[in-house]
Amino acid sequence: MIGLRSVVARAPGKINVSLEVGPPREDGYHSVATIYLAVNLFEDIRASERMDTEFTISLSPDSAPFADPETFPIGPENLVIRAAAELRAYTGVKAGADLEVTKRVPIAGGMGGGSADAAAALVACNALWETGLNREELAIVGARLGADVPFALYGGAAVGLGVGDQLSPLLLRNATHWVLVPASYGLSTPEVYRTLDKLRAEQDVEAPTNVDVDTVHALVAANVESLALNVRNDMEQAAIHLAPEIATVIATGEKLGAARGIVSGSGPTIAFLAEDKDHAEQLRTLINEELDVDALVVHGPANGAAVVHHHSAFRGN
């Protein structure tokens, strides 16, 4: 259809600078205490106007090479379609959209790529349909889709409690620089949680109620030495249990000069903390040569989901 309106929205991936995980709750979820950091690796969603109420989804050819069109889910289970449908139900608007995803965040990599897709879809459709929800209202809708979606909407850095959806923003003085090593495979977040529960079955694990203050102070001040001593991820042992090569990659990166290596979220993406931007670039080169991977240099904080392009055109033949 010629001349129909479209909106492009962008949302960031994240790393968990700290992630403490409690025992399984009665509802099947786990209480967490985490420090989210949005990084400048973004997912884009283009939402284009339709003359009916259907949804379609496609993968942009501009996506990163790891995004395989053959395995990309195009059914109603895709978080992008679910986000658009949830927004439509919440607002009562009668509209559809053609949704195109440009993927750059590793899939099933522990960086919240799916949550970023959902956040960008909410922002794009909210603008396309002119439903007028503010960020707080979009976060209410987003929380129904996943615990990390509200953070992808806000971006920056934040403490996350509850299941990760109770956010308290952190104002950072300076950026921190990281080298990401994506894996050639993904890890199922539920499977990593189940594995963690099995590994800690004989331990008396308490539900976390807050994050470590020293870690917060180190991140706020971008104190790399202190941050390296204080980052933690309770999920790391489970991710390594499922994919033992993760431990080798972490050891190699630290041997090559990273201040610290840590699994991001449920893994398997590994985030290496660098001293500064130049050190991150040097470290990426060394890691690529040593491990024959395609590491990425990123920094945080990054902005939350936002419209980056709004195309309005006359309809016509």
Marked catalytic residue, from 14, 103, 117, 234: 14
Q: Would you say residue 315 has pLDDT above 50? A: no
Decide: residue 244, CB within 10 A, 0-12 exposed, 13-18 middle, 19+ buried.
Answer: exposed
Amino acid 107: pLDDT: 83
* Residue 125 CB-half CA count within 13 A: 33
Catalytic annotation present for 148: yes
Q: Each residue of 129-181: pLDDT tens digit?
A: 999 999 999 999 999 999 899 999 999 999 999 988 899 999 998 999 999 99
Amino acid 313: pLDDT: 58
Residue 115 marked ligand-binding: yes
Residue 261 marked ligand-binding: no
Marked catalytic residue, from 44, 117, 148, 234: 148
d(CA 80, CA 291): 34
Go through 56-74 and write b for each residue having 16 or more CB atoms within 10 A of its CB, e for each that does not.
Answer: ebebeeebeebbeeeeeee
Backbone φ and ψ for 316, nearest 5 degrees, come out as 180, 175
Catalytic annotation present for 255: no
Residue 107 marked ligand-binding: yes
Alpha helices (H) in the chain, listed in sequence order: 79-91, 113-128, 135-143, 149-154, 189-199, 213-220, 224-230, 236-242, 245-255, 277-291
Beta bridge partners of 155: 303
CATH number of 1-317: 3.30.230.10
Amino acid 199: pLDDT: 96
Kindly tell me the sign of the dihedral angle through the C-alpha atoms of 307, 69, 152, 118: positive
Q: Each residue of 59-100: pLDDT tens digit?
A: 999 998 888 777 777 777 889 999 999 999 999 999 999 999
> Which is nearest to 195 in space by CA: 136, 241, 145?
241
Q: Would you say residue 316 has pLDDT above 50? A: no
Go through 88-121 and write b for each residue having 16 or more CB atoms within 10 A of its CB, e for each that does not.
Answer: bebbebebbbbbbbbbbbbbbbbbbbbbbbbbbb
**Structural domain spans, the chain:** 1-317
Residue 113 marked ligand-binding: yes
Mean pLDDT, the chain, rounded, equals 93
The predicted model scores a pTM of: 0.93
Residue 58 marked ligand-binding: no
Residue 111 marked ligand-binding: yes
Strand order in the sheet with 296-300: 260-263, 270-274, 176-181, 296-300
Q: Each residue of 93-137: pLDDT tens digit?
A: 999 999 999 999 988 888 999 999 999 999 999 999 999 999 999
Residue 316 marked ligand-binding: no
